Structures are given as structure tokens and as C-alpha cells.
Chain A
Amino acid sequence: MPEIEFLQIFQGLATLLAAEPLIAFARVALIILGITFVYLGVKGTLEPLIMIPMGFGMSSVNAGVLALSATKTGTLFLDPIASDPAQLMDALQINFLQPIYTFSFSNGLIAVLIFFGIGVLSDIGYMLISPMRCMIIAIFAELGTVLTFPIAVALGLPLNEAAAIAMVGSADAPMVLYTSLLLARDLFVPITIVAYLYLSLAYAGYPYLVRLMIPKRLRGLVMETKSIPNISKGEKITFAVITSTLLSFLFPVASPLFMGFFLGIIIRESGVKPFIEFIGGPVLYGATFFLGLLLGVLFEASTILDPKVILLLILGITALLLSGIGGIIGGYVVYWISGKTFNPVIGIAGVSCLPTTAKVAQKEAREANKFAIILPWAMGASVSGVITSAIIAGIYVSLLR
């Protein structure tokens, strides 16, 4: 019987013991963090659709490190920096997630697929109730997306990386992924993870911000529901076609996002049921699942040891906080413009992630006054927020790419 080395059988343990102490510590910390994400996702504290696959991917990839050669360690998951054709062919044959990463992730396709799904779930009709008011709120709710940019530059980030992290303020994680892929490819993994992580936390935190900034009397303001107009499918489709064409013409770099979102809306309104079910179901949930899983897998120990990650964590939360404050200020502005008939809580829905912030707004209004129905306006503000975020993403990418 040949001599058997214990560590030769358990290669994961061998690579952990052979690694530098800091790397080994970071790997163990990320395994624990990943398992914590899964737990919090299952419990519902964090967004389960993203956190369960992301947490599990993170713990698996940091556990599954093995010796690839005498001098090199790695995993069999994927190689994010493979770009040379020969290197890429090797990676496609070795790493089991490489095909999905190469053909859908590194080119931003996965973000566009999620935008198809968001479009299918979005009723643009809500925005037609009061387009100007919704858009004013959405503009204010981008405060974090723009204010974080000079703050990040002041803290030492170059313009492209500052813009990529500032996009976290748009509260639209697929958009953050798309812009960071174009603007700061080296940092897209931590930036997108920061975006998803903070979005889960922000939705838990935004109700407190609303209660802090808006008195109960105003939170419970009842709005006139008779003013909701009847909008035909044809009008919605016409709007989607015109707006998408105009925005794509102005910002070709962001046209995949515009096309994805507005095509989703057109499919929804066209009533082609098989398409609606396919895009709103398998495409949206499939893309969300693989987005979470691949982000987790990309989050290796070396990523967290980048000193910029701490900075990104600070800037990410700053962006979301400023956007929340901006949205509520926007709610107040419309409240005054409308002669005090508009519930300012709707402002928080301008922070655009559909439909969560709109639900947060409705919940807060309902808790203050059980007769307060603000969801249609809140949904309108949220849809406007998606459009405004895409416009800002288009400007950032056009100027700084």
C-alpha cells in the first residue's frame, strides 16, 4: 500500500493551511458570512431571491479552493479574468460556471434579462396618473446617485469608479451591475454585492427614515382616488416605444437597458400571455438566481482584502441614505406644489427598486391611517425612478467610459 498523506486526500484543508494567514482568515470569514446570508435569506431578513444563492455561492467557492498546479491554487467554479481566446477555451472546459459567466455575465446580458422581467412586472399606467409629479420625486430620489460621486472622488477614487459606486444610490442592483461592468470592471463584484446587500438592509431601514422625516398626520394623508384616469394599452405601448427610442438615441451605451425595460412593458401591454409568463417567470427568476450565485462565487478572499472594499461599503450606504432623504424631500416638494393634497410618503418610492419601495410607502401610510391608499402613485414614482436611474447611468457611462 502506498504511503498516504492525510492532507493529500483533503486538499481543501491543505490549501487553507498552506495559505497566508490573512487569506486563510478571510476565506473562513467569507464561508461564515455566506452561511449567514443563506440563514438571513431563508429567515426573510434579507432578500431571499438573491441572498440564498449568493451566500451559498460565497461559502462554496471559499471552501472549494484546491491546488491547480505546484505553485497555483484556485477553484473549479470560474475564471473571471479569462479573456484571451485560448485561455477562455481552457476555462470553459475546466470551470463549471464559466459558460454562464462568459456568455451572460461579463457582457451585462444578465442585467438586461432582469430588466426584461422588471418591465413585464411594471405597469406604466401608474406613472400616467401624474407624470410630472412622479418624475419630480424621482429626480429628488437620485440625490444619492449624484452626491456620492464627488464624495467618492474626494475619498480618492478615480472618476469612473466613483460613478460606479454612486450608482448604488439608484437602488437598482441590475443597473449597478451594468454600469460597474462598463465603468469599473475590476470593482464590479464588490460594488454589485454592496448594492444587493445594502438594498436588502435599506428596505428594512427606510420605514424608520420615513417616520423620522414625516409626521404621522402627513403620513396618513388620504389622496383622492377618483383622479386615477383610465389608460388604454395602446397609450402605454406608444409611450414605451417613443421613450425607449428617444433615450436609446440619446444614450446608445445604455440602450440595452432601455430596450430591456421598455420591451418588457410592451410585452406586458400586448397581452401575449406565453411571453409574459416566460419573461416574468423563468427568465426573471433564472437570471436572478444565476446573478446571485455568480456574485457569491466571484466573492473570493482576495476580493474582500482589496482596501477599496471598506470605502465601497461606506459610499454605498451613504448613496442609499442620501437617495432616501432626497426622495422624501421630493415628496414634500410635491406636497407643497399640489396644495397639500399629495402624501409625502410617496417620495420614498422614487428610490426606484420596483415594487419594494412602493410597498414600503403604502405600508407606512396604512399604518398611520388605515384609509390611506397611495400605492398607485407610489408605483408611478417607482417606475419614474427606474427611468431617471437609467438616464443617469447613460450619462455616467457616456461621459466616463
Chain B
Amino acid sequence: MEAVWGAVKLMFFIYGLAAVLSLIVAWILKLLFAAVQAQKARAAAAEGTEDDKTASEGSA
């Protein structure tokens, strides 16, 4: 009975640890994706500003 109770406690520990680590992996993925998207948006915005500048210089 003691062995079973020990196994139950171990099960909760293993499940909890696995859940935390899995969510950390998902969070890394989310963070990475958000960072790349933000960088893309910044690059696009910078490109847009450059285009506007060139267009206004051309019309002048």
C-alpha cells in the first residue's frame, strides 16, 4: 500500500513537472514567433517610411 501511495505521489510530481516544461516549450515558441513578427512589422514600417521619403523627394 505504501508503494502504491508513493507511486501516486510520484505520478503527480512527474505530471506536474512535464506540464510545466511543456508549457515552457510552448511559451518559448510563442515568444519567438512574437519577436519575429514584431521584427517583420518594424522592418515593414521602416521600408514604408523610406518609400514615402523617396516619393516626396520625387514629387518635389
Is A bound to B? Answer: yes
Contact with A along B4-27 (1 / 0, CB 8 A): 101110110011011101110111
Asked if B42 is at the interface of the complex by the 8 Å CB criterion, the answer is: no
A243–B25 contact, CB under 8 A?
yes
Asked if A391 is at the interface of the complex by the 8 Å CB criterion, the answer is: yes
Docked pose: A239 CA to B25 CA in angstroms: 9
A146–B15 contact, CB under 8 A?
yes
Q: Closest Cβ of chain A: how far from B24's Cβ, in Å? A: 8
Asked if A128 is at the interface of the complex by the 8 Å CB criterion, the answer is: yes
CB within 8 Å of A: which B3-56 residues: 3-4, 6-8, 10-11, 14-15, 17-19, 21-23, 25-30, 32-33, 36-37
Docked pose: A169 CA to B11 CA in angstroms: 14
Docked pose: A159 CA to B36 CA in angstroms: 44
Q: Closest Cβ of chain A: how far from B2's Cβ, in Å? A: 11
Write out the residue numbers on chain A whose beta carbons fall within 8 Å of the beta carbon of B17.
Answer: 395
Write out the residue numbers on chain A whose beta carbons fall within 8 Å of the beta carbon of B37.
Answer: 229
Contact with B along A168-201 (1 / 0, CB 8 A): 0000000000000000000000000000000000
User: Majority SS of interface residues in chain A?
Assistant: helix
Q: Closest Cβ of chain B: how far from A383's Cβ, in Å? A: 11
Indicate whether A246 sits within 8 Å of B28 (C-beta atoms), given known contacts A128-B33, A154-B4, A391-B22: yes
B28–A153 contact, CB under 8 A?
no
Docked pose: A134 CA to B30 CA in angstroms: 12
Q: Closest Cβ of chain B: how far from A226's Cβ, in Å? A: 16
A131–B30 contact, CB under 8 A?
yes
Q: Give the bracket for the number of chain A residues in contact with chain B.
A: 35 or more
Residue of B whose beta carbon sits closest to that of A149:
B11
A231–B21 contact, CB under 8 A?
no
Asked if A75 is at the interface of the complex by the 8 Å CB criterion, the answer is: no
Residue in B10, B21, B26 whose CB lies within 8 Å of A132: B26
Contact with B along A344-388 (1 / 0, CB 8 A): 000000000000000000000000000000000000000010011
Q: Closest Cβ of chain B: how far from A128's Cβ, in Å? A: 6
Q: Closest Cβ of chain B: how far from A337's Cβ, in Å? A: 14
B22–A135 contact, CB under 8 A?
yes
CB within 8 Å of B: which A107-137 residues: 127-128, 131-132, 134-136
Asked if A396 is at the interface of the complex by the 8 Å CB criterion, the answer is: yes
Docked pose: A229 CA to B33 CA in angstroms: 10
Write out the residue numbers on chain B whose beta carbons fall within 8 Å of the beta carbon of A138.
Answer: 22
Docked pose: A150 CA to B7 CA in angstroms: 5
Docked pose: A127 CA to B14 CA in angstroms: 23
Contact with B along A23-62 (1 / 0, CB 8 A): 0000000000000000000000000000000000000000
Asked if A284 is at the interface of the complex by the 8 Å CB criterion, the answer is: no
Q: Closest Cβ of chain A: how far from B9's Cβ, in Å? A: 9
CB within 8 Å of B: which A239-277 residues: 239, 242-243, 246-247, 250
Residue in A147, A150, A388 whose CB lies within 8 Å of B22: A388
Asked if A325 is at the interface of the complex by the 8 Å CB criterion, the answer is: no
Asked if A238 is at the interface of the complex by the 8 Å CB criterion, the answer is: yes
B26–A146 contact, CB under 8 A?
no
A239–B8 contact, CB under 8 A?
no
A residues sitting closer than 8 Å to B (CB atoms) are 127-128, 131-132, 134-136, 138-139, 142, 146-147, 149-150, 153-154, 159, 162, 229, 231-232, 234-235, 238-239, 242-243, 246-247, 250, 384, 387-388, 391-392, 395-396, 399
3 smallest CB-CB distances across A and B, nearest first, come from A135-B26, A153-B7, A150-B7
Other than the given A147-B11, A150-B11, A232-B36, 20 more pairs (CB < 8 A) read A128-B33, A131-B29, A132-B23, A132-B26, A135-B23, A139-B18, A139-B22, A139-B23, A146-B11, A150-B7, A153-B7, A162-B7, A229-B33, A235-B36, A239-B29, A242-B32, A243-B25, A246-B28, A388-B18, A388-B22
